[in-house]
Amino acid sequence: MKSKKLSMLLFTGIFMGIVIGLVISANMNWMVKGIASDRASANVALGSSEPVPQELLGLQSLSKAFVSVAKEVNPAVVTINSKKTVKQNFRHPFMNDPFFRQFFQMPEQQDYVMRGLGSGVIVNPQGYILTNNHVIADMDEITVTIERVEHEAKVIGRDPASDVAVIKIDKKNLPTIKLGDSDKLEVGEWVMAVGSPIDVILEKTVTAGIVSAKGRSLGAGLGNGQLKFQDFIQTDAAINPGNSGGALVNLRGELVGINTAIVGQANIGIGFAIPINLAKSVMEQLISTGKVRRGYLGVQIGDVDEEMAESTGLDKPRGAYVQSVVKGGPADKAGIREDDIILKIKGTDIITRDQLTAYVASLSPDARVDVELWRNGSSNTVTVHLGERPSEESLDSGGSVTEKAETLGLEVQDLTPDLADQYSLPSDEDGVLITNVNANSPAERKGLQRGDLIQSVNGATVKSVREFKAAMGKVSAGSVVRIRILRENMTFTVYLRIPKEKE
C-alpha cells in the first residue's frame, strides 16, 4: 500500500514537471524559435521546395533576358584589325652629314606600321559588315576575325560625315543581327554593348547599362571636323577603345546603335552610339550605290535657350530656331519663315538643332514630311517636300554662314533684348552674338569668347544673322576675314583665316 502511494506521487511529480516545462518554454518562445530556425535553414538549403519570392523571380527573369540576348547577338559581332604602312623620317645625330649617311648607307626614311582595332556587326548573311568609318579609314589592309579565323575584307563604302562604313568579306551564310528602331528607344531602357575592347583577346565582351540620354552632340571637333551629323545615344554600358563599330542592343536582341565614342581614354560610364536609324539609311545607300544622298530642308538654325522660350511662349527650351531660310529652298516653298521654331518632324520631337540636322539628313531626298512649327505663340503644321543636301564643298562655296562659322569655331545668334541683358551688352547696339566658341578652333586661338558681339565683317555692318551670312558669303576659303568685336565697353578687331578644310 505504501509502495503504491510512493509510485503515484512519483508519477504525479514527473507529469507536473513536464507540464510546467512546456508552459515555461512556450512563454519563453523556445519552441517557436527552434521551429523558425529550422524553417530558415530550409529556405537557404539546396534543393529547397519553398517558393521563390516574387521580387527574386523578377531579377531572375531579367538575368535570363541578358543571357538570351548575349547568346543571340554574340555570333553577329566581329573583331576588325587594320594596318597601314607609312614612311617616317629616320632621325639620327649624324644624319646631316652626307659622308656619314653615304658611308653607312643609312636610309633617310623607314617604314612604320600603324595598327588599328575595332568591332563590326554582320548585317547581311552574304558578308556585309557595318562599322565606324574611323575604324577602317585610309587603312591598307583590313581583316575580320570570326571564330578565331581571319578573313580579308574590302571597303564597300564609307561616310565620314556620319562615321559609318560598310565592309565585306568573302563568306556566306553568316549569322546576322535584327535591326531595331532607335526612335522608339527610351531614356532609362536597358541596353547591352558588345565588341572587342582593348585587345583581340577580349573579343565579344558583353557589358550592360541603360540609355542615359538621346540626341547628344559632342562638338564640331569630333572626327577631325568631318563628323557633321551628331545625334548620339548616350549609355553607361562600359565602352572602351576597340568597342568602336560594335553593337548596342536592346533586351529584344535588336540592334539600336553602333558604339562610336567615349569620353576620355577609357570607360567612365559615358559612351556614345550612332542611332541605328541613321546608320541604316547610310548603310543601305553605301551598299546599293556607294555614296550617300541626304534630305535637305534649307534653313540655318540655332538652339532655343531659356530666354527665347519664355519670350516666344514655349513651355520650355526645345526645338530648333530658324535663323534664316534659303531662298527657293524646300522650307521656303513650304512657308517656313525666319524666327519660326521647329518642334517636330514626322512626329519626332526635336530637342536641339544638331538633332534636327542629323534627322533630316537621315531622310530620303524628295520625301514629303510634316513639320510642326511654333509661331506667334501657337503651333501649326506644314508639309515640306525635302530636297537633296548639297555637298559640303558646295555649301562652303555657297557661303553658308553655318558652315563657314563652324570652320572658325563660332556659333552665332541674333541679338535680342534678353540676350543683351544676359551678356551685359548695351540694348541699343546692333550686331550678331557669339553664343559658343569651340575649343582649339581658330576663333578661340584669336581670343574670341561667348558673349562677344560681332558688329562688322570686312567693314560691312552686320545687324542680324542674315546680314552676317551675306558678309561671310563674300569671303572665300583660305582668305582672311576682318571681324569687329564689341566686348563689354571695349571694341577691337580680329583677323581670322577661313580654313580650306574644316578644323
Catalytic residues: 134, 163, 244
CA distance 356 to 145: 37
Distances (CA, A) of 276 to 70, 134, 283, 357: 19, 17, 10, 16
* Size (the chain), residues: 503
CA distance 453 to 442: 17
Residue 79: which of 246, 261, 255 has the closest Cα? 246
Pairing of strands 77-89, 141-146: antiparallel
CA distance 34 to 27: 13
CB neighbours of 388 closer than 8 A, spacing ≥ 6? 293, 294, 295, 296, 365, 366
Q: Which long-range contacts (CB under 8 A, 24 or more apart) does 486-492 make?
A: 486/425, 486/429, 486/431, 486/452, 486/453, 486/455, 487/449, 487/451, 487/452, 487/453, 488/424, 488/425, 491/455
Residue 271: which of 254, 258, 256, 284 has the closest Cα? 258
CA angle 495, 469, 394 (to 5 degrees): 95
Using DSSP, state whether 45 is helix, strand or coil. coil
- CB neighbours (10 Å) of residue 418? 15
- Supply φ then ψ for residue 182, to 5 degrees: -70, -20
CA distance 191 to 66: 9
CA distance 412 to 419: 12
